[in-house]
A and B are shown apart, each in its own frame.
Chain A
């Protein structure tokens, strides 16, 4: 396994995802002789994991079971150890497409943070592209390097420990795209421009506050970027539920109109109301929005150097 190549069976040294249930999972480093505790009991790596197929059901010591999944950048994003705030897959998707990333792309990123976006970028530009990521926090930079090594992608990424606003990306005229997730992106626009290829490329800056966006847009214009465009993407997740609504008693039952206005004859189509006169209810399937949803992560400002 690696984050850029699927493998069929679980091997010693792999990072695997233990899936316990809805939004309940965690990553585990597979090692001979190691055990992992779950609420369903113990998983013994040597016997329960190594050699098994990814996607298998693994029975734990207390009889409960879990699924073992192959890692992907998306699963990693949902389970990685947070060292900073991270970008989630909804924003990452739009960033990747609007930066026009593909195999072979050279990308500059700052800051590295917890590496959530980095893993997604590496996945997309592999096997011939490269990620240059800059993180001014020494420990975070070191931790990111370690993770990239463990995940088998170190050959696709260079982590530099410096201040991107002062020292830039450490490369010039080689990038197809630049991504910024730092508090003062406007101070790095000049460096971003010189990191991009002379023939041009794309840039994206992520900022939570509109004032940051304002200053970034001014800087982008000043440095001659075109197609400046600010977007915001929101994810709505729906729970699929079968809902029953009670039929009100309007005193019509006596007239023999048992379904009280609902046609219960014919094959009941899923999704369409289905009346049950006896119980006095109507059933239907619905996509119910979650009670809480993420209302704002950040503004994404894109531009082109041409």
Chain B
């Protein structure tokens, strides 16, 4: 009912998690009415965007309103005059006849960005002498500055992983999006799998795995500390059913589960309440929004202000009904206790279920992307994986993976071990001006991948020797993949 008829995409709804896009910059925000958003030095409200189709481009008008951008024919440079080189162009700082104050006055009058750009061109004495390419570049630069357009897009792994890598690489251990793409492929992530995921990437890797599984199969998220972090996961806006077969298991219980001494009596429960909140809302939690915005003081203070206002509001409401206030409060407390007990019981039940799933030791794969040393994680968690299944470990650094590689070889039960890294290059493609972009990312982390096999416990020592011999690549066979010509 929420989706429009055939031919139209999903619409932006209140309460959605949407992603704002301006050029290559993304920002995830909750779609709420009367909530001020600050993005790329602009402020606006999303109210008017509600009901529009995802992918719509909006212009920011005065008062922070969004208006769908009309398709306009490019009217700039009606004169096709241009120079051939820059031998006579002198940088005297006086080529622009409009002053800062003039431009500010134009903006204050609410003149559209497009017109300001036109005026800047007309008032540039050197514009006509610039080469056609330089004119193009000049216009693009000015447009970027004065034409305030933003596109609202639907979240996806592509968008969120690009956004996180650009905005908050520290929160995802500098896992670049092309590296994440490799993990999903190397791990053969698909509908119907039973996956084990151990990550400290804000829930981004978990979300990527969930997207690829489409709600089919099951995922067991291993988490350190008191609760799993799913700030990024909630940005995806997954339907509720996707969470039905998402389980979690505390890392601190892995050893006892493997040794058979596991019990649910001592849960890691410092922040049980937080955990319940997270579990309940499944979709979006405010926690993830603050985590996304933490780095921008503007938005944090703004959120804080909003919360304060809401509190005041509540207090006032209560005061007006202070007769019923007391009994209501008592009733509430009793219900709270009962609710808490019920939730705790449910949590314990879920934990037992998850332990049972793990004990079957038949998982279809293991994905690790954390801030911890990978070796102990792998040596323990691989126990839960069936033979002939892929596993992938991410690490920001190469050295821990070298050790992990050696330890896995010692352990046995794995083949086709591969340590790799991808490089990603971006290109500018324009007629007669194509070249790699000036900057590229220096590091997107390393991957160690492999396939599990039946662990031959009886003769592991001798077989390991053989395996080593067997897998040692001979330089003669060092073969290069075929090229497309």
Q: Measuring CB to CB, which residues of chain A are less than 8 angstroms from any residue of chain B?
A: 4-6, 8, 19-24, 53-57, 67-70, 72-74, 82, 85-86, 88-90, 92-94, 96-98, 100, 102-104, 120, 123-124, 126-128, 173, 197-200, 208, 210, 213-214, 217-218, 228-240, 270-271, 285-287, 290-294, 296-299, 301, 304, 306
Contacts and interface: CB of A to CB of B under 8 A. Distances in A.
Interface in B364-414: 364, 386-390, 398-403, 405-406
Interface in B167-184: 177-178, 180-182, 184
Contact of A5 (B55, B192, B425, B427): B192
Interface in B11-46: none
A50 to B, nearest CB: 15
Interface in B266-296: none
Given A53-B454, A213-B427, A200 B190 contact: no
A277 B425 CA distance: 45
A55 B454 contact: yes
Contacts of A124: 190, 212
Contact of B216 (A94, A127, A217, A231): A127
A19 B422 contact: no
Interface in B452-485: 452-454, 456, 463, 470-473, 475, 477-485
17 contacts: A4-B192, A21-B470, A55-B451, A56-B387, A56-B453, A70-B388, A85-B485, A103-B212, A197-B9, A231-B427, A234-B424, A238-B398, A240-B402, A270-B406, A285-B399, A285-B403, A292-B480
A300 to B, nearest CB: 10
Nearest to A211: B434
CB-CB nearest 7 A-B residue pairs:
A55-B387, A103-B214, A55-B388, A199-B9, A54-B388, A93-B185, A97-B181
A85 to B, nearest CB: 5
A293 B480 contact: yes
A208 B99 CA distance: 48
Contact of A270 (B161, B177, B403): B403
A240 B431 CA distance: 44
Nearest to A201: B9
A210 B456 contact: no
B420 A238 contact: yes
Given A22-B472, A96-B185, A100-B157, A54 B387 contact: yes
Nearest to A92: B185
Contact of A230 (B55, B401, B429, B453): B429
B424 A53 contact: no
A93 B182 contact: yes
Contacts of A231: 424-427
A214 B111 CA distance: 36
Contacts of B478: 290-292
Nearest to B466: A65
Residue from B403, B430, B453 whose CB has the most chain A CB atoms within 10 Å: B453
Contacts of A20: 470
Contact of B190 (A126, A229, A301): A126
B8 interface: yes
Nearest to A289: B421
Contacts of A286: 402
A20 B471 CA distance: 9
Contact of A238 (B161, B419, B453, B484): B419
A290 to B, nearest CB: 6
A25 B445 CA distance: 28
A217 B161 CA distance: 25
A92 B436 CA distance: 21
Contacts of B178: 93-94, 97, 233
A67 B453 contact: yes
A96 B184 contact: yes
Given A19-B415, A72-B188, A96 B429 contact: no
A6 B195 CA distance: 12
B195 to A, nearest CB: 11
Most buried by B among A68, A69, A231, A285: A69
B433 to A, nearest CB: 10
B193 interface: yes
B418 interface: yes
Given A100-B157, A271-B399, A232 B454 contact: no
Given A55-B388, A291-B478, 14 more contacts: A6-B193, A8-B386, A55-B452, A57-B454, A72-B390, A93-B185, A93-B186, A100-B157, A197-B9, A235-B421, A240-B402, A287-B398, A296-B483, A298-B484
B473 A239 contact: yes
Contacts of A292: 478, 480
A287 B390 CA distance: 21
A4 B388 contact: no
Contacts of A126: 190-191
A237 B479 CA distance: 12
Contacts of B472: 22
A271 B480 CA distance: 28
B156 interface: yes
B416 interface: yes
Nearest to B413: A55
Contacts of B216: 103, 127
A213 B429 contact: yes
Contacts of B186: 74, 89, 93
B442 interface: no
B38 to A, nearest CB: 23
Nearest to B449: A74
